[in-house]
Amino acid sequence: MSGDHHGSSAISERVRHVEALLEARGLVDEGEIDRSIDDFLAGGSPVNGARITARAWVDPGFRDRLLADANAAIRELGLSMAGGLQEQRLKVVANTEDEHNVVVCTLCSCYPIALLGPSPSWYKSEAYRSRVVRDPRGVLAEFGLELPAGTRISVWDASAESRYMVVPRRPEGTDGRPEEALAALVTRNGLIGTAAV
Could you give the CA distance from residue 153 to residue 147 in angstroms, rounded to a whole number? 9
Round to whole Å and give the CA distance between 137 and 145.
9
At 37 the pLDDT is 67
Pairing verdict, β 162-167 and 89-94: parallel
Same domain, 21 and 106: no
Domain count for the chain, please give it. 2
Is 105 annotated for ligand binding? yes
CATH value at residue 103: 3.90.330.10
* Residue 110 among known ligand-binding residues: yes
Residue 86, in any domain of the structure: yes
Catalytic residues: 105, 108-110
List 8's β-bridge partners, or say none.
Answer: none
pTM: 0.80
pLDDT tens digit sequence for 60-117: 999 999 999 999 999 999 999 876 556 889 999 999 999 999 999 999 889 998 899 9
Q: Is the pLDDT of residue 9 over 90?
A: no
Positive or negative, the Cα torsion across 28, 29, 33, 35? negative
Q: Is 109 annotated as a binding residue?
A: yes
Q: In which domain, by residue range, is 101 found?
A: 46-192
In a domain, 2, yes or no: no
Give the DSSP per-residue string, 11-50.
HHHHHHHHHHHHHHTTSS-TTHHHHHHHHHHHH--HHHHH
pLDDT digits (tens, 9 = 90+) for 135-186: 999 999 999 999 999 999 999 999 988 999 999 999 999 999 999 999 999 9
Q: How confident is the model at residue 36 (pLDDT cuts 50, 70, 90)?
A: confident
